[in-house]
């Protein structure tokens, strides 16, 4: 029995979106059409694929096994069609998937989505979280089109390009009663000020955390968050301080009236890279996306490492 390719597209959308309603919206189909497609695919494969658990729509083990294979196959078909027909961003309805830490999102994602919507209104960009995902495997399996990391590619099947330099900083509101008129933030201050930080399991992977632990610096962490870009909003309306990516902090500083300090210990500069599978090199659609990202990052000047804030 032949398998209808459209059924695989429905499976891919349901698996990624997490439910029939969201998948229907993504594909421009009705919910009954999605349900009927899943029924046909279940019959063909002999597996329920998705099961109701309370209000959740949970993939079966077989669905988890099939998902990356089906997604990669659909991506390969998309790429083949792009190569054969040429790529017109104004007409394309391609969906691109990206994996990235939240610290880099504010640096370019707003602009990328705005430019894409204006120039290519049918193109969709889906961002997936970096932590909890096997970064290299997501790119090698082509489940993700692009990845963003502080490390260049570590596999000969991947390509990478440098985007921008970055470092850690500390931020408080500009009218902070203690630090608003200060020019520096000392090690002693680190033990006195109330800090808001990303969660411990995320913090442990940062350059600043490694330096703090090496020096045995005591801190008073008042609370933690799961997203780094929550920190600027919290410190802007409290007397707390927060550690975050300097590039990210600078995107919020004027809008939220923040004052930035260099940390009172060595703060190694790190670099952001865009990473992708080499098989995408010749894909005109993928090349279009990479060029849009590079255009946005080209506006950033190198960090002034002598500047405190």
Q: Are 143 and 71 in contact (CB under 8 A)?
A: yes
Mapped onto helix, strand or coil, the DSSP state of residue 235 is helix
The kind and range of the H/E element at 108 are: helix 105-119
Give pLDDT, residue 307: 56
Q: Are residues 248 and 218 part of one domain? A: yes
CA distance 242 to 222: 10
18: alpha, beta or left? (left if phi > 0; alpha if psi -120 to 50):
left
Give pLDDT, residue 105: 94
Q: Are residues 77 and 3 part of one domain? A: yes
Give pLDDT, residue 118: 92
228-266 as b/e: b if 16+ CB within 10 A = bbbbbebbbebebbbbbbbbbbbbbbeebebbbbbbbee
Burial of 33 (0-12, 13-18, 19+ CB in 10 A): middle
Give pLDDT, residue 85: 59
Specify the CATH number for the domain of residue 79.
1.10.10.10
Give pLDDT, residue 131: 77
Mapped onto helix, strand or coil, the DSSP state of residue 243 is strand
Q: What residue ranges of the chain have pLDDT lower than 70?
A: 1-2, 79, 81-85, 200-217, 266-267, 305-309
Q: What is the residue range of 252's domain? A: 168-261
Q: Are residues 290 and 157 part of one domain? A: yes
The kind and range of the H/E element at 192 are: helix 187-192
Q: Are residues 174 and 257 part of one domain? A: yes
Tokens 């993504």, located at residue: 26
Q: Are residues 14 and 150 part of one domain? A: no
> What percent of the residues of the chain are helix, what percent strand, and what percent coil, each to the nearest 5?
45, 20, 35
Domain final residue pick, 66, 85, 104 = 85
Q: Are residues 153 and 284 part of one domain? A: yes
Q: For 204-234, write each residue's pLDDT tens digit.
A: 556 666 666 666 667 778 998 988 889 999 9
Give pLDDT, residue 212: 67
For residue 39, give both structure tokens.
Answer: 């029924």
Instruction: For residue 91, count other CB atoms closer than 10 A to its CB.
Output: 11
Q: Are residues 214 and 81 part of one domain? A: no
Where are the extended beta strands (E) located within 90-190? 95-100, 124-129, 146-149, 158-166, 168-173
Domain final residue pick, 85, 117, 133 = 85
Number of domains in the chain: 3
What is the pTM assigned to this prediction?
A: 0.71
Domain final residue pick, 85, 113, 146 = 85
**In this structure, is the dihedral angle defined by the CA atoms of residues 108, 111, 117 and 118, taken in order, positive or negative?**
negative
The kind and range of the H/E element at 273 are: strand 270-277
Write the DSSP symbol of residue 173.
E
- 97 belongs to a structural domain: yes
Give pLDDT, residue 246: 92
- 266 belongs to a structural domain: no
CA distance 163 to 160: 9
């Amino acid at each position: 029995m032949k398998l209808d390719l459209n059924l695989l597209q429905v499976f891919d959308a349901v698996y990624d979106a997490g439910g029939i309603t969201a998948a229907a919206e993504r594909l421009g189909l009705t919910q009954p059409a999605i349900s009927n497609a899943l029924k046909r695919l279940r019959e063909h494969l002999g597996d329920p694929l998705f099961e109701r658990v309370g209000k959740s729509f949970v993939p079966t083990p077989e669905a988890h096994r099939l998902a990356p294979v089906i997604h990669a196959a659909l991506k390969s078909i998309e790429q083949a069609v792009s190569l054969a027909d040429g790529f017109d961003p104004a007409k394309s309805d391609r969906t691109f998937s990206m994996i990235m830490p939240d610290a880099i999102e504010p640096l370019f994602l707003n602009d990328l989505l705005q430019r894409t919507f204006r120039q290519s209104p049918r193109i969709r960009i889906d961002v997936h979280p970096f932590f909890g995902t096997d970064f290299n495997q997501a790119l090698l399996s082509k489940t993700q089109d692009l990845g963003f990391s502080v490390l260049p590619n570590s596999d000969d099947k991947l390509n990478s390009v440098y985007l921008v330099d970055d470092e850690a900083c500390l931020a408080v509101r500009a009218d902070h009663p203690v630090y608003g008129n200060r020019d520096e933030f000392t090690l002693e201050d680190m033990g006195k000020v109330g800090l808001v930080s990303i969660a411990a399991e995320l913090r442990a992977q940062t350059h600043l955390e490694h330096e703090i632990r090496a020096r045995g610096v005591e801190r008073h962490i008042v609370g933690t968050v799961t997203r780094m870009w929550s920190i600027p909003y919290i410190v802007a309306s409290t007397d707390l301080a927060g550690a975050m990516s300097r590039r990210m902090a600078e995107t919020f500083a004027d809008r939220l009236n923040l004052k930035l300090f260099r940390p009172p210990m060595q703060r190694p500069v790190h670099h952001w890279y865009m990473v992708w599978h080499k098989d995408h090199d010749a894909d005109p659609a993928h090349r279009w996306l990479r060029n849009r990202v590079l255009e946005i990052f080209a506006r950033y000047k190198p960090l002034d490492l002598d500047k405190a804030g």
